């Protein structure tokens, strides 16, 4: 992982087939899947694509922006797994709603390749994190981070890569 000041905000949207995903999304909404900076510019770590496959465990209390990546071994119970990191091509910050829509499309496209089944047929749900305006402007941050979790609210144990469910 490189260095930089990245702030992320997880979109409220998620795959439409999961009934409870909004609850989990609210828990993950503001997860920065890296050590992120706050708006005062504290140092942070760039996510980068090498985090694909990283398992994460978010506690019950998550702030608007997370300043530390809650990585755990995938063999331990965890809430989410990073399955893709995508780049947004826009030069100008398009706004949170536009980033949310683009992130949903980007993450949907990679879900089946990683999990082994279409998001529409899966028991799992997906969501995404998008850069904040601050990290977009200050650090040229254009990464969308796609995460997958258990669709019924249970904790994951092991990786979901190729799980076909």
Please give the span between the terminal C-alpha atoms of the chain, in angstroms, as a whole number. Answer: 30
- Has residue 31 got a pLDDT over 50? no
Q: Which residue has the tokens 């990683």?
A: 114
Q: Which residue has the tokens 């979109």?
A: 11
Confidence of residue 7 (pLDDT cuts 50, 70, 90): low
The confidence score (pLDDT) of residue 156 equals: 95
- Has residue 13 got a pLDDT over 70? no
Task: Break the chain into its structural domains and give their ranges.
Answer: 8-150
100-146 per-position pLDDT tens digit? 999 999 999 999 999 999 999 999 999 888 888 888 998 888 989 89
Residue 84, both tokens: 């893709």
SS3 label, residue 107: helix
The confidence score (pLDDT) of residue 132 equals: 83
- Has residue 20 got a pLDDT over 50? no
- Output the pTM of the full model: 0.74
Instruction: Say if residue 113 is exposed, middle or buried (CB neighbours under 10 Å; 0-12, 13-18, 19+).
Output: exposed
59-73 per-position pLDDT tens digit? 666 666 665 678 899
Residue 62, both tokens: 């998550």
Average of per-residue pLDDT across 85-94: 93
């Amino acid at each position: 992982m490189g260095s930089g000041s990245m702030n992320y905000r997880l979109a409220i949207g998620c795959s439409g087939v999961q009934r409870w995903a909004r609850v989990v999304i609210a828990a993950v909404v503001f997860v920065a899947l890296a050590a992120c900076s706050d708006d005062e510019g504290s140092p942070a770590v760039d996510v980068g694509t090498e985090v694909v496959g990283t398992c994460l465990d978010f506690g019950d209390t998550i702030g608007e922006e997370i300043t530390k990546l809650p990585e755990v071994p995938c063999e331990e119970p965890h809430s989410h797994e990073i399955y893709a990191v995508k780049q947004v091509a826009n030069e100008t910050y398009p706004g949170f709603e536009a980033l949310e829509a683009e992130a949903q499309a980007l993450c949907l496209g990679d879900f089946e390749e990683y999990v082994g089944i279409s998001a529409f047929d899966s028991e799992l749900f997906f969501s995404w994190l998008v850069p904040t305006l601050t990290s977009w402007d200050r650090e040229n941050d254009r990464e969308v981070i796609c995460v997958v979790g258990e669709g019924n609210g249970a904790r994951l144990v092991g990786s979901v890569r190729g799980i076909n469910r």
